[in-house]
A = this chain, B = another copy of it.
Amino acid sequence: MTTDPSTQRSETFTWIDPAIALEKLPRLSGMDYFSGLREGSIAPPPIASLMKFDLVDARFGHVEFQCWPGEAHYNPLGMVHGGLACTLLDTVLGCAAHTTLDAGIGYTSIDLAVKYLRPITLQKDALHAEGSVVKAGPRAIFTEGRLSTTDGKLLATATSTLLVFPHQPGGK
Contact = CB atoms under 8 A, between A and B. Distances in A.
A137 B119 CA distance: 12
Residue among A39, A44, A78 with most chain B CB within 10 A? A78
Given A18-B71, A83-B83, A116 B108 contact: yes
A51 B13 contact: no
13 contacts: A3-B43, A8-B17, A15-B71, A21-B76, A50-B72, A78-B170, A83-B84, A83-B91, A110-B140, A111-B116, A115-B134, A115-B159, A139-B163
Interface of A: 1, 3, 7-22, 25, 33, 39-41, 43-47, 49-51, 71-79, 81-84, 86-88, 90-91, 94, 106, 108-119, 121, 134-135, 137, 139-140, 142, 144, 154, 157, 159, 161, 163, 165, 169-172
A82 to B, nearest CB: 5
A45 B74 contact: yes
A71 B20 CA distance: 13
A36 to B, nearest CB: 9
Contacts of A21: 76
Q: This chain: how many copies in the complex?
A: 4
A1 B46 contact: no
A68 B13 CA distance: 17
A157 B144 contact: yes
Contacts of A74: 18, 45-47
A78 B140 CA distance: 21
B9 A10 contact: no
A3 B43 CA distance: 9
A96 to B, nearest CB: 14
